[in-house]
Structure 1
């Protein structure tokens, strides 16, 4: 039987929220890691998202590498029983956690164990047991840092002179998530720049001269952009006069239409982000980038 600790009516978060008035059930979710805990959070949130009206109260215990640190986590688990997920390389610490969870009669899962077993069976290799191996300061790590620096320097149309050094250039009207998408891409080692489409302001001429980067247009529905812009303007200047053109739906629709036309004329792929998360948008861009690079390599070998 599920052990939900509380429930309450969910409040509306915007015009697209269809769960108004529904009861949302909460449960404790404990994540114990000898590294950052990012893997656990990603997996647990993906799993929780599959259950309607269920919300996890997250307890994260990162960098648990000693018995003393683990015992503090176990004490909190005892005080707020719930599901326990863990990634612990040290077998002594892992066994201690599993034993404590059995005594508390709470479920406890090593989320990487099935993956490790498949790898060992298929590759016939020995597990190294290296804590935080995915966070090693290797060439890929420094490549991501370089990409992030590039992306921050080239946000919102800055320094257009070296756009050709980018891997991806995003264009779009205000509030189409260009900046957060670029940052997400940078964390994957992709140098991303973004250029805003502003009525009455020409795009930088360098955009016509670049050859290396993939250029992608981002659009959203006029209704969605209007809603985001209104919230942003009121948040910045709650008592001041609103920029009527900036939040006018007809003007926004014209901006979106101009972006669509420009991308069609120049053969740039276009992504509608109206109902997409940043991760989904970035995933499609990375797929387009792979195709773009493959075409470039094919052209060089001809």
Structure 2
């Protein structure tokens, strides 16, 4: 497959544009793509300095430029070079303008403004980091979501992802020899979700973890019988407490988080988090 170049132009951090590009490129397995990332493009002078790079590596141009002059200049230069240029948010923005009956503000990086929602997300991240791996049980009642499960069921990365969406999350490991503190079973406010996975998959993950730490793989931690016992222990706890359960075996962190967010909406958490704008 021939190599192709994609140029990403943004007048802000480019986070949104990169997410769009990642989502689209994920549909093309084995594509040989070289990305050229151009963030914070907010002037004609800046754009002019980049133009020679397009001539050196011509390809598809994706952009999110709200300034009309900068956008028009980029589109004009792309026409001169015979390069396709796509406004990644243009169709959606136009549709919203028509539906809402008002024009978009056209302010670069507006989704990154430091407003109340921004600081609530920061607070959620601080809370989540401080309540990782069973720490801070005296504050669990302040959480929006509590994740629990045996070791290596993606509790921490899922917690961090949810925190970036504005949810205060605590995660609690389940260990047969050391059950969680009684307060976990007395909480009524936060949504408590159990995470589980297939034993074979968990054994492989744990063995890989031990290898990365240069430890012997033949320990009870990674033995199939022990893993099955832990999962049964966890599932009994989930069932006894009527906690919803998510099997993460074939789910990405994003998919697991999306399922949890749906449960949180149905649960009706006391504090509605401020979703991170996309």
TM-score, structure 2 as length reference: 0.92
After superposition, the C-alpha distances for 1:14-61 in whole angstroms (9 at most, x for unaligned) are: xxxxxxxxxxxxx22211000111111111111112223224322211
RMSD over aligned Cα atoms: 1.9
Select 1:268's aligned residue among 236, 243, 259. 243
1:279 corresponds to which residue? 254
* Partner SS state of residue 157, structure 1: coil
2:17 is paired with a residue whose SS is helix
Q: Return the alpha-carbon distance in structure 1 between the equivalents of residues 271 and 72 of structure 2.
A: 51
Residues 173 and 114 (structure 1), Cα distance of their counterparts in 2 relative to 1, 3 Å cut: same
Preserved contact between residue 190 and residue 269 of structure 2 (Cα < 8 Å): no
SS at structure 1 position matched to 2:177? coil
Distance 1:82 1:168, change over 3 A: same
Shift of 1:138: 0.8
How is 1:26-37 mapped onto 2 (pairs within 5 angstroms)? Answer: 27-37=4-14
1:192 aligns with 2:190: no
Distance 2:155 2:98 in 1: 43
TM-aligned CA deviation for residue 140 of structure 1? 0.6
Structure 2 unaligned spans of 5+: 273-278
Match of 1:59 in 2: 36
Structure 1 residues without counterparts, runs of 5 or longer = 6-26, 298-302
| Equivalent residue pairs, number | 272
Deviation string, structure 1 residues 42-81 (Cα, Å, up to 9, x no partner):
1111111222322432221111112232233322222222
Residue of structure 1 in register with 2:70 after alignment: 93
Q: Distance in 1 between matches of 2:228 and 2:49?
A: 55
Structural mapping, 1:84-163, within 5 Å:
84-163=61-140
User: Which structure ranks higher in relative contact order (CA pairs < 8 Å, sequence separation ≥ 6)?
Assistant: 2
Cα distance in 2 for partners of 1:147, 1:113 equals 32
> Does structure 2 conserve the Cα–Cα contact (< 8 Å) formed by 1:48 and 1:55?
no
Question: How far apart in 1 are the matches of 2:62 and 2:109?
Answer: 16
Partner of 1:173: 150
Quote the Cα distance in structure 2 between the aligned partners of 1:173 and 1:77: 50
Q: State the distance in 1 between where 2:107 and 2:227 align.
A: 52
Separation in structure 1 between the aligned mates of residue 97 and residue 175 of structure 2, nearest angstrom: 54
Flag the 1:64–1:196 CA change in 2: closer, same or farther, 3 A: same
Q: Which residue of 1 aligns with 2:276?
A: none
Measure, in 2, the Cα distance between the counterparts of 1:55 and 1:230.
Answer: 32
Determine the structure 2 residue equivalent to 1:46.
Answer: 23
Q: Name the CA distance, whole Å, in 2 between partners of 1:272 and 1:41.
A: 29
Q: 2:56 aligns with which of 67, 74, 79?
A: 79
Q: 1:243 deviation in Å?
A: 5.6
